[in-house]
Structure 1
Amino acid sequence: MTATKTAEARAAVLPQIADPSKIAPKDAREMTRLFFDQLSVLEEGTREYQYVRDTLIEMNVTLVQYAAWRFRSRGTGEMDDIVQVGIIGLIKAIDRFELTREVEFTSFAVPYIVGEIKRFFRDTTWAVHVPRRLQEARVELAKATEQLRSRLGRMPTTLELSELMSLPERDVIEARKASNGYTSASLDAAITSSEDGEAALADFIGVDDVALELVEDFHALAPLIAQLDERERRIIHMRFVDELTQAQIGKQLGISQMHVCRLLNRVLGKLREGMLTSP
């Protein structure tokens, strides 16, 4: 008898559990050790291996529920979402646990579960608005990705994810893109540039150019200035182009500084009104 057949024969003695999630925690602890013992001798990818692994997941969902309950006061996300995220941690723990560690599986698994839930809360605030259906698909996508990655030993393709999630490929692609909305990078984040060495992200982001607003103002102001009489245009030119003082302008025009002030106020008021009423 080959090693594979021997392993399959040993797995055949395992009880067929109709609903592993209904097993009491005390019984689940004993059954978990038995199933891990069988998992260690089965060939990965076989139907028997998958049955044992799936049963281990379902038997230990109560661990996830226990860990999720501790986060009930966070006020972010539905409890079902938190449990689903915790199951990802449970799956990681099952795939990495070895009986030779001589430690209870519960002690080994809880840090994985809690770590995954904490990561969920860390990333749970969306940086941009994303439709609710895509927010929900994010958790399912993460779970499906981890399951297939553990089973296949590589990152799954879009087609493989769509088959497992029972979603069209376009929805899987959309969910992946939407996941990017969870986080945003700091403008102070350092990035590497081959030419200039290290630089901040903000160095590559454009800013509003105040001078562009002046261009628009000049275009709107030009026809209004053209409507002024010659002396008004001359006063505007001397004050704002030649930058002369009111006293200097008065000396050139042969009028008092007070008269220049009144003329400037009248001209500026006329231009201001024209700017506010122009389309």
Structure 2
Amino acid sequence: MYTATGRPSKSDALKQHAPLVRRLAGQMLARLPASVELDDLVQAGMMGLLDALGRYEETQGVQFEAYATQRIRGAILDELRSNDWLPRGLRKHARDIEKAIQKATQLAGRAPTEREIAAVLGISLAEYQQHLVELQGSQLLYYEDFDREDADSFIANRSGDVDDTPLAQMIDQDMRSAVIDAIERLPEREKLMMSLYYEQELNLREIGAVMGVSESRVCQLHSQAVARIRARMREREGVTSA
């Protein structure tokens, strides 16, 4: 059905662009904990699409899909920020591990081993590794790290001709240099894993095959690498483990 202006009705436009919403939601879900439901992200994304349909003007010189992508991602980001999407217990484990990595780094004068991090936490190596598995889906940046203005900037940066890797989708332009520096400081094994995951876009099973380890071990390495990066960024920002 078309309106008097010859443009598709909103209902038809929503149906036409629904696959875009599902694709974007799926891309974001792939980097989120298992507690996040795809349908929730799709529902938020559809609200973003509806907002885009109401605001879009062809005279802007921007293709509708590019414009809608910004609005859809923004709506999903708002949904994630407004909900406690990372369970509090897991968030505490993540923070505790980051602080332990900071302290263990100071004590060792280098990137600490898993056993050294576990010792600072006062738990066994096996228990520490189990925490890493539970933190599968940990982010380089948590959504609560953004305020609304930062989120708008982050979304707006996605509309230009920029790097479109999953890593770039999760990081604001102004923070990339800090993250890249932190990645360069990772132990070689974790650096390789991050490259395969974020640059080559391999899944955990595929990375395990490349590295000759189990999928569960890749999960541990990923969670630990993310914790090291966040610990390094907290240190740069003057947030200590004390």
Structure with the greater relative contact order (CA < 8 A, sep ≥ 6): 1 or 2? 2
Whether these two folds match at TM > 0.5 is: no
| TM-score normalised by structure 2 residue count | 0.32
Larger Rg computed on CA atoms? 1
| TM-score normalised by structure 1 residue count | 0.28
